[in-house]
């Protein structure tokens, strides 16, 4: 009896995808451990244009043990400089920021995400061609500013630079009101951070600013195995 009479190739493929998807959620210590080993494998092989979607899936759960294994010896901010940015990557980055509350993403995940966004919109004209922004996207970026820390904090610095680039790009003779509105909102968020008399809720909906702590929801592995190259 041929194995194809039991499972089709498509069914087997779906099983594999489902199995990987299940453990990447990091909902049990065993799943965290499996994810750590996968992250170590990607770290050794190197992230590239073929496996970056899998890396993005690792970022969704954001388990810091897994992220640390993925980034061993790497700079988080420049991690995605290895692949050419595209709409899929940018869409993922912006949706991840929108999905989580401030404080609910591991700092190294934020560094990866803001590295993607910074490189995309450092030249806003080119960035808008890849993925047009909305005011909601700017709110999702700006809500991670932390006024209890100064502008030298790495995450604050990334965000302020991104907002500065977007705020500095305006249409000629006010020909594009959408672009100009984005620039104005980016500047308003940036100014609210520097103005100690002004709360961020004046420029970003207050419900988006409620902070959380990623550590309280992190599932721990049973044992952390040191990384060996």
Q: Which residues contact 48 (CB under 8 A, 6 or more apart)?
A: 82, 83
DSSP state of 100: S
Measuring CA to CA, which residue among 39, 51, 30 is closest to residue 227? 39
Do residues 6 and 198 touch, judged by C-beta distance below 8 A?
Answer: no
pTM of the model: 0.89
The neighbour count for residue 88, using CB atoms within 10 Å, is 12
Per-residue pLDDT of the chain (229 residues; tens, 9 = 90+): 455 567 677 776 566 667 777 888 888 899 999 999 999 999 999 999 999 999 999 999 999 999 999 999 999 999 999 999 999 999 999 999 999 999 999 999 999 999 999 999 999 999 999 999 999 999 999 999 999 999 999 999 999 999 999 999 998 888 899 999 999 999 999 999 999 899 999 999 999 999 998 888 888 898 765 656 5
């Amino acid at each position: 009896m041929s194995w194809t009479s039991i499972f089709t190739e498509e069914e087997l493929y779906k099983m594999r995808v489902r199995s990987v998807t299940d453990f990447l959620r990091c909902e049990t210590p065993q799943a965290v451990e499996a994810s750590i080993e996968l992250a170590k494998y990607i770290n050794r092989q190197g992230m590239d244009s073929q496996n970056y979607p899998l890396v993005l899936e690792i970022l969704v759960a954001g388990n810091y043990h897994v992220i640390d294994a993925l980034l061993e010896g790497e700079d988080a901010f420049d991690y995605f400089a290895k692949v050419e940015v595209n709409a899929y990557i940018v869409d993922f980055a912006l949706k991840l920021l929108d999905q989580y509350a401030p404080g609910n993403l591991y700092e190294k995940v934020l560094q990866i995400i803001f590295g993607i966004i910074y490189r995309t919109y450092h030249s806003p004209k080119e960035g808008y061609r890849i993925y047009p922004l909305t005011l909601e996207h700017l709110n999702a970026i700006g809500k991670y500013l932390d006024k209890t820390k100064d502008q030298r904090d790495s995450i604050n610095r990334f965000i302020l630079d991104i907002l500065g680039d977007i705020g500095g790009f305006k249409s000629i003779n006010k020909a594009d009101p959408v672009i100009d509105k984005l620039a104005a909102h980016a500047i308003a968020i940036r100014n609210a951070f520097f103005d100690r008399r002004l709360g961020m809720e004046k420029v970003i909906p207050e419900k988006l600013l409620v902070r959380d702590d990623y550590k309280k929801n992190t599932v721990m592995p049973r044992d952390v195995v040191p990384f060996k190259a």
